[in-house]
Amino acid sequence: MPEFYPPTTEKDIELAFGQIKPYMNPTMAHYESSRCLFCYEAPCVKACPTGIDIPLFIRQINTGNVDGAAKTIYNSNYFGNICGKVCPTEVLCEGACVFNHQDVKPIEIGRLQSFATHHVIETEKNLFRLPPNNGKKVAIIGAGPAGISCACELRQLGFEVEVFEAKKHPTGLAIYGCAPYKVTNEDVLDEMVWLQGQFGFEVLYNHKIETAEQIKGLEASYDAIFLGIGLGETRSLDIPGQDLENCVGATEFIEQVKINPLKTRVGKKVVVIGGGNTAMDAASESARLGAEEVVLVYRRPKENMGAYGFEYELAKSAGVKGIFCAVPVAIIGNGQVEGARFIKTKTENGRVAMEKGSEFDIACDTVILATGQEKMTGFLSLIEGLEWNKDGSIKVNAETFQTTNPKYFAGGDAVNGGAEVVNAAAEGKQAARRMDAFLNKA
Amino acid sequence: MPNLAANLAGIRSPNPFWLASAPPTNSGYQVMKAFDAGWGGAVWKTLGVPVINTSSRYGAIHYRSNRMVGFNNIELITDRPLADNLREIEEVKKYFPNHAVIASLMVETKKEWHQIVKDVENAGADGVELNFGCPHGMCERGMGSAVGQEPSVLETITRWVKEVATVPVIVKLTPNITDITEPAAAAALGGADAISLINTIQSIVGVDLDNFAPYPIVDGQSTNGGYCGPAVKPIALNMVKNCAQHPKVGIPISGIGGIENWRDAVEHLLLGATNVQVCTAVMHYGFGIIREMISGLENYMQEKGFEKLDDFIGKALPNVKTWENLNLKYKVVAEINAEKCIGCQLCYTACEDGAHQAISLPGNGSRIPAIIEENCVGCNLCSLVCPVEECITMVRKDDGKEHETWKDYMAADKAPTQFNDDRAGGKGHWVPEPAAALKQ
């Protein structure tokens, strides 16, 4: 008996995508916050890309100063609630909790963080006071975690900020990519509304910047521009059969699941190709949407997967099966996907070699390619003097996030090649401070 | 099996665990239930002229996730008519003839004392306890701690009671006094057969930050209460010890204050209590805790080879000295077990900010601190803050051959006497330069 059936109602969706880190109630938060040791120079803080003073906010929760706790969090990370839910805490703050060394359950830092931030969002609490405008204007391209963090920080520094977003909704992959059992769209958008209320920046939606003319226009009207453009579509594999119906990119598939889960149809047997966290999400989500069988195929051994161990475990718990050391050579079918052909591999000296004559087919009606995303080099080439690395990531000064065109700063996936929400949030914020230093230097 | 039977000045009970005079002994129903659960005795909620109580009576200190580590009440003595209480005492004694039922009493005049002592004896009480301890409400009316704070009045009333009592008389003392041994000695002088201590400590348990009134709030206002619960045990232990060691007291002690488990009880006994009384822990967890207390006590006695309570009552007393008699040559130093250390560095920051800067951090990526032995004064602080069982231990460093106390130092003129004396204990002990604090 399968765990999940194809959902037909909103209620089914809620059940299929039950939150793995639901909000704590005040009693839970009290007991959990009581356990924190208040470590000296706490390892959890060092493990957090945004350096949130975790022992402090936990102590604030424990003493009934939940607003103060939220302020502590937002002082370091504008995506406090979202990060509390979607951060890979197992390998960040909670993984660093000293309790692990005595096999004591680490403090549930992520959930405590969401408890505090959700409280101020829900009660529409005002935590920040803005300085008068400093007379300078910054344009931000991309309303993802990097762009929005940058916008919030710039507003705190007195800049006027406008954000240009190609899509209909803000927060980028937080809404279009994060697994629905980690955070709900409602939570994501609520935090965004709260942030806009606090910091008062403009976001222009459905406003794609794509021409040299538009770019010239921005350059003329703004003192600086931040690029938080993220990544593009799923990278093509260059194998026959990719164009068959029901062979889809993971990014596109997940976006569909996130925005319109009831209209997302997965087949009965799904093959997901890839070994990163996106592959795990696509596989998990397929299973939760009622696929009878979901097979994950990765070209190297299991240990080499880019995905976190707990993400693979999560996928397995939803019924996903893993096949390792195999690469696709063709998607088979006639108009529609009917299967995928793989060849076994051997990894020698880090290089993947195909084993001749070891081809095998897996019958399936859906193939999801989780083979990475394209870089936005086409867009980048429109900006004068802007350079990118061999892998397509924007070249920046590692400390200042300034690009090779001094008017432009950049952060997030477009710079780091694709990381977590928390990394983008950290980079956007830091970039804002450096823009301020650059624009307001004596 | 060790024998848990207790005998306080002739009052026998199957074990040393009594319920103290308080809400859990307000009625025959409760006392009967407690005996059935395994309690050895009960001191009935104080009898006298019944009172009228306030609504909202208790307040508490919670420490993080732990509820009621300290507890406070403004409740008075019984608010039930004497006849009802006497009838219930009689009934309890019928069901439990071998359990101790003690009547706690608080009245004003000699005549009232004489009458009520006779009444409770007729009802079958095995002893009486004179409540000279209540530090709230009743003391405003010249009773309770108002008596306990006046040794001569305490002695006089004790004598009145002894004039008529045929059962043992226990005097319950208030800790709201500078030297507990004065009223204790007065009780002995007045003929008391035993003393019990401590009653609650005058307290304000907390303040409502929104309504600007202390807890417990009675229509926007409050009054001081009596403090008890786990937090008061150290005060109780010290007072029990003081009475047990004092030559002018010399009568058995019923230990009260912060007793919640077998360990607390054993501590009271080791410091000279003959039995113990419990209230707050029962108000928190119910009568069922007695199972743990009895099992723990039995296990302890078995392990130590004690057959009866007398084998260890007062056993720690010879080891409680005045400070001047402690060996200044004894030297312990902290030792961190790196295998167990979780790297919280609470020991580091505690020693650095709160003690003697005797712990260093490795600074090589490891989080395991190290003891700077020459700076360590052996204060124990690091081992107390360490959250891991047996991770930081205090290891003896002297060879045990030397024994010199402050008294010896004084006699041999080795003690510092001048402000800048070369013999100062901390002279030459390394401390960082003040400005080094700002460099971090």
Model pLDDT for residues B164-216, shown as the tens digit of each residue: 999 999 999 999 999 999 999 999 999 999 999 999 999 999 999 999 999 99
Select from B162, B155, B87 the least CA-distant residue to B127.
B162
- Residue B440 clears pLDDT 80, i.e. is over it: no
Percent of chain B's residues with pLDDT above 70: 100
Name the residue of chain B whose CA is nearest to A63's CA: B64
Q: Considering CB atoms only, which of A39, A100, A102 is closest to B345? A: A39
Check CB contact under 8 Å for A98 and B64: no
Alpha-carbon separation of residue A74 from A129, A195, B417 (angstroms): 13, 10, 57
A348: buried, middle or exposed (CB in 10 Å: 19+, 13-18, 0-12)? exposed
Check CB contact under 8 Å for B344 and A37: yes
Q: Considering CB atoms only, which of A37, A41, A62 is closest to B387? A: A37
Which residue of B210, B342, B359 to mutate against A (max A Cβ within 10 Å)? B342
Out of 3.40.50.2300, 3.40.980.10, 1.10.1060.10, 1.10.3210.10, select the CATH number for domain A13-122.
Answer: 1.10.1060.10
Q: Give the pLDDT mean for A263-288.
A: 95
Fold match flag (A13-122 vs A247-369): no
Q: How far is the alpha carbon of B428 from chain A, nearest alpha carbon, in Å?
A: 29
Check CB contact under 8 Å for B65 and A31: yes
Check CB contact under 8 Å for A43 and B340: no
Select from A393, A396, A388, A383 the least CA-distant residue to A231.
A393
Write the DSSP assignment of A267-333 as a string of letters.
-SEEEEE--SHHHHHHHHHHHHTT-SEEEEEESS-GGG-SS-HHHHHHHHHTTEEEEESEEEEEEEE
Cβ-based contacts of B340 with chain A (< 8 Å): 102
Check CB contact under 8 Å for B344 and A30: no
Q: Give the pLDDT mean for A198-218.
A: 97
Q: How far is the alpha carbon of A102 from chain B, nearest alpha carbon, in Å?
A: 7
Cβ-based contacts of A43 with chain B (< 8 Å): 343, 367
- Tell me if A6 sits within 8 A of A38, measured CB to CB: no
Q: Give the pLDDT mean for B283-307.
A: 98
Amino acid type, A424? A
- Residue A34 clears pLDDT 50, i.e. is over it: yes
- Residue B105 clears pLDDT 50, i.e. is over it: yes
According to CATH, what is the number of the domain A247-369?
3.50.50.60
Q: Considering CB atoms only, which of A40, A100, A102 is closest to B349? A: A40
Q: How far is the alpha carbon of B134 from chain A, nearest alpha carbon, in Å?
A: 32
For residue A410, the surrounding DSSP H or E stretch is: strand A408-410
- Residue A105 clears pLDDT 60, i.e. is over it: yes
Confidence of residue A379 (pLDDT cuts 50, 70, 90): very high
- Residue A350 clears pLDDT 90, i.e. is over it: no
- Tell me if B79 sits within 8 A of B53, measured CB to CB: yes
Cβ-based contacts of A101 with chain B (< 8 Å): 341-343
Provide the mean pLDDT of chain B. Answer: 97
Check CB contact under 8 Å for B345 and A41: yes
Task: State whether residue A382 is helix, strand or coil.
Answer: coil
What is the model's pLDDT at position A226? 98
C-alpha B93/C-alpha B78 separation (Å) is: 20
Catalytic positions of B, written as ranges: 134
Cα four-point dihedral sign B89, B90, B95, B98? positive
Q: How far is the alpha carbon of A128 from chain B, nearest alpha carbon, in Å?
A: 24
Check CB contact under 8 Å for B387 and A31: no
Check CB contact under 8 Å for B65 and A98: no
Confidence of residue A1 (pLDDT cuts 50, 70, 90): very low
Q: Give the pLDDT mean for A212-230.
A: 97
**Chain B positions with Cβ closer than 8 Å to A:** 64-66, 340-346, 348-349, 367, 387-388
Print burial letters for B413-437: b (CB count within 10 Å at least 16), e (below 16).
Answer: eebeeeeeeeeeeeeeeeeeeeeee
What is the model's pLDDT at position A132? 97
Confidence of residue B363 (pLDDT cuts 50, 70, 90): confident
Residues constituting chain B: 440
Return the bridge partners of B221, or none. B218
The tokens describing A209, both together, are 């910047």
Q: Where are the domains of chain A?
A: 13-122, 137-232+375-439, 247-369
Cβ-based contacts of A34 with chain B (< 8 Å): 64-66
DSSP conformation class of B262 = H
> How far from each other are the two terminal CA atoms of chain B, in whole angstroms?
60
- Residue A19 clears pLDDT 50, i.e. is over it: yes
Give residue-wise pLDDT tens across range B22-59: 999 999 999 999 999 999 999 999 999 999 999 999 99
Residue B78, phi then psi, degrees to nearest 5:
-60, 145
Out of 3.40.720.10, 1.10.1530.10, 3.40.50.10470, 3.30.70.20, select the CATH number for domain B323-427.
Answer: 3.30.70.20
- Residue B280 clears pLDDT 50, i.e. is over it: yes
Give residue-wise pLDDT tens across range B53-95: 999 999 999 999 999 999 999 999 999 999 999 999 999 999 9
Cβ-based contacts of B65 with chain A (< 8 Å): 30-31, 34-35
According to CATH, what is the number of the domain B6-317?
3.20.20.70
Q: Give the pLDDT mean for A264-283.
A: 95
Name the residue of chain B whose CA is nearest to A40's CA: B345
Confidence of residue A349 (pLDDT cuts 50, 70, 90): confident
Which residue of B67, B344, B348, B389 to mutate against A (max A Cβ within 10 Å)? B344
> How far from each other are the two terminal CA atoms of chain A, in whole angstroms?
69
Q: How far is the alpha carbon of A80 from chain B, nearest alpha carbon, in Å?
A: 24
Residue B278, phi then psi, degrees to nearest 5:
-130, 135
- How is domain A137-232+375-439 classified at the architecture level of CATH? 3-Layer(bba) Sandwich (3.50)
Residue A363, phi then psi, degrees to nearest 5:
-75, 135
Alpha-carbon separation of residue B40 from B35, B99, B166, B212 (angstroms): 6, 6, 21, 43
